[in-house]
Amino acid sequence: MDASASQHSPARAIRVRCCIVGGGPAGMMLGYLLGRAGIDVVVLEKHADFFRDFRGDTVHPSTLQVMDELGLIDGFLKLPHQRLQTLDGQFGGTSVRLADLRRLDTKYNFIAFMPQWDFLNFLREAGQRFASLKVMMSTEATDLIRRGEAVAGVRAKTPEGPLDIEADLTIACDGRHSTVRERAGLAVEEIGAPMDVLWFRAGRKADETENLFARVEPGKMMVTFDRGDYWQCAYVIPKGQYDAVKARGLPALRDDIVHMAPILKSGTADLTSFDDVKLLTVAINRLPRWTRPGLLCIGDAAHAMSPIGGVGVNLAVQDAVATANLLADRMSQGCPSEAELDAVRRRREFPVKMTQRMQVIVQNNIVSGALKGGNEPLKVPLLMRLVTALPWLQGMTARFVAIGVRPEHVHSKAVSS
């Protein structure tokens, strides 16, 4: 252990084969898969529950396929959700179709909208049958335990006091502001994004229906999802402009929203203060190096994605599947070497880079232009015109968004529970 470790004398310590930090989609899926493979694994989640509004709520066909391969799909699809098959938009005055999932030749050809806490609770409950999996809520990793150069677990804060979790392998799934990767000194390569997003809910009356998902006007962009009794809305603003939006005041924001989406007229009454609006500071970044000896980062901790395409949850799940496929067997014998851990980056970096590249293309060709504003009427970008005109291209965009690059399938072993 390092010097700081030797000065620290926790009341308690536990020892596990694998410690996963973070109970988001990456951590909960990986915990499930390792528990299923009989690995002694603990998942630490700093919050007491999964109930946080406005996390990624999109479950794409690639994740539905994984749930199918795990035998969980029937129970999962019994949870309340909405299904989306086409991505239609309004660009200036022109209607565009950006993707058509009905063209996919996959078993699941829809995006399921489900609150992320339902998805995570489902995984947690399903994982309870694995004796080797433990999920510890209200447990926050605050530092690393080191043994020489290697990471040997984490120090955690729990309601019962400090706890050391000694582990052969620590996996950081603690999201885009990862404490673990920061403590490990892993450098983040920022790619950048020209926008931030304001998320809010607007009430929906039963007779309010509209099949529009994206709206673009000079200087403004907005995405709306029909979530049954409410509209989930993402209002896109130029990067760093939230204070300016606040300074103009809530009535001005409501007016802008209703001007773009008249269907939200009554629903925006739900916006009573800026507390009802959540700012997503959009980031696109990735780690050139995902590992240290004894440590691996996956999901947003390894690569924050732009909300374009709503792919963050699904990439996190795909990382988890790849990690279990590549490492579960090896982990039953101890900690994989750093070179073995790096197999996960080698497998997943290409899909991450390709997806981020596409997000940057959309940012540069569509988002930046639209957010510039001005009095000129908006011209539908060539890319969008092509996709709208050629239905087979709508199948390709659907494949990219819904399945992604190099989809993962579950190959890790399942020991009987």
Ligand X SMILES: Cc1cc2nc3c(=O)[nH]c(=O)nc-3n(C[C@H](O)[C@H](O)[C@H](O)COP(=O)(O)OP(=O)(O)OC[C@H]3O[C@@H](n4cnc5c(N)ncnc54)[C@H](O)[C@@H]3O)c2cc1C
Q: Which residues bind ligand X (CB under 6 A)?
A: 21-27, 44-47, 54-58, 140-141, 173-175, 179, 199, 278, 280, 299-301, 305, 307, 310-314, 316
Q: How far is the CB of 50 from ligand X (least distance, A)?
A: 7
Q: Residues with Cβ < 8 Å from 384, sequence gap 6 or more?
A: 89, 91, 96, 98, 366
Minimal distance, residue 193 CB to ligand X, in Å: 13
Spatial distance between the Cα atoms of 293 and 302, rounded to a whole number of angstroms? 16
Q: In the bound complex, what is the minimum distance in angstroms from residue 283's beta carbon to ligand X?
A: 10
Q: How far is the CB of 197 from ligand X (least distance, A)?
A: 7
Contacting residues for 2 by C-beta, under 8 A, at least 6 apart: 146
C-alpha to C-alpha distance for 125 and 233, rounded to whole angstroms: 30
Residue with tokens 């086409």: 86
Q: Which is nearer to ligand X, 47 or 83 (CB)?
A: 47
Cα angle value 356/22/78 (rounded, 5°): 85
| Least distance between ligand X and beta carbon 26 (Å) | 3
Q: Tell me whether residue 153 or residue 312 sits nearer to ligand X (CB atom).
A: 312
Q: Which lies closer to ligand X via its Cβ, residue 70 or residue 320? A: 320
The CA–CA distances, whole Å, from 289 to 73, 195, 266 equal 34, 26, 49
Between residues 315 and 380, which has the closer beta carbon with respect to ligand X? 315
Question: Taking CA 408 as the corner, what is the angle to CA 406 and CA 414, rounded to the nearest 5 degrees?
Answer: 165
Which H or E run includes 207? none
Cβ proximity to ligand X, 21 vs 284, nearer residue: 21
Q: How far is the CB of 385 from ligand X (least distance, A)?
A: 26
Strands 195-203 and 285-286: unpaired
Nearer to ligand X, 24 or 336 (CB): 24
- Residue closer to ligand X, measured from CB, 46 or 220: 46
Q: Please tell me the total number of residues recorded for the chain in this structure.
A: 417
Q: Exposed/middle/buried for 233, CB within 10 Å: 0-12, 13-18, 19+?
A: buried
Q: Which is nearer to ligand X, 23 or 61 (CB)?
A: 23
- Given a contact cutoff of 8 angstroms between Cβ atoms, the answer to whether 195 and 371 are in contact is yes
Closer by beta carbon to ligand X, 359 or else 378: 359
- By C-beta, is 25 or 194 nearer to ligand X? 25
Which ranges of 15-115 would DSSP assign to H, the alpha helix?
25-36, 61-69, 73-76
For residue 223, the minimal CB distance to ligand X (Å) is 9
CB 390 → ligand X: shortest distance, Å?
26
> Shortest distance, CB of residue 112 to ligand X, whole angstroms?
11
Return the exposure string of 113-142: e unless at least 16 CB atoms fall within 10 Å of the residue's CB, then b: bbbbebbbbbbbebbeebebbbbbbebbbe
Residues 118, 123, 126, 131: is their CA dihedral positive or negative?
A: negative
Residue 361: how many other CB atoms lie within 10 Å: 12
CB of 44 vs ligand X, minimal distance in Å: 5
Question: Which residue type does 23 have?
Answer: G
